[in-house]
Amino acid sequence: MRSLKFGWLKDKFLLMRGDARSKGRLMFMLYAVPTLFVATGAVFNYVNQTFIIYLKYQAMVDQYYYSRVVEPMLKEEK
């Protein structure tokens, strides 16, 4: 890691701080990028939890449907 040179990043940051237009972009990026990462993580977490709940209760829903809808239909056919 010590061999990596990030001095250009610091120079670019200091250069952007001086210009009003660049300062607005910089402030936008400082807030937008972390917000985007957090929002993406929240959406993935929501989808994951929703799918886990679906898998947990799907067998129970299927059994209820089978006992209330399918079995009576099968008994009527006989």
Query: Which tens digit of pLDDT belongs to each residue from 41-72?
Result: 999 999 999 999 999 999 999 999 999 999 98
Amino acid at 21: R
Residue 1 carries which DSSP code?
Answer: -
- Domain assignment present for residue 46? The answer is yes
Nearest CA-CA partner of 17 in 29, 35, 5, 6: 29
- Domain assignment present for residue 20? The answer is yes
- Domain assignment present for residue 48? The answer is yes
For the cut 60, the answer to whether the pLDDT of residue 31 exceeds it is yes
- Domain assignment present for residue 2? The answer is no
Residues shown for the chain:
78
- Domain assignment present for residue 35? The answer is yes
Domains in the chain, number: 1
For the cut 60, the answer to whether the pLDDT of residue 25 exceeds it is yes
For the cut 90, the answer to whether the pLDDT of residue 13 exceeds it is no
- Domain assignment present for residue 24? The answer is yes
User: Which two tokens mark 15?
Assistant: 């250069």
For the question of whether the overall pTM of this predicted structure is more than 0.85, the answer is no
- Domain assignment present for residue 63? The answer is yes
- Domain assignment present for residue 1? The answer is no
Interatomic CA distance for residues 42 and 58, integer angstroms: 24
**Residue 20: domain span:** 7-77
Is residue 49 helix, strand or coil?
helix
For tokens 């209760």, the residue is 57
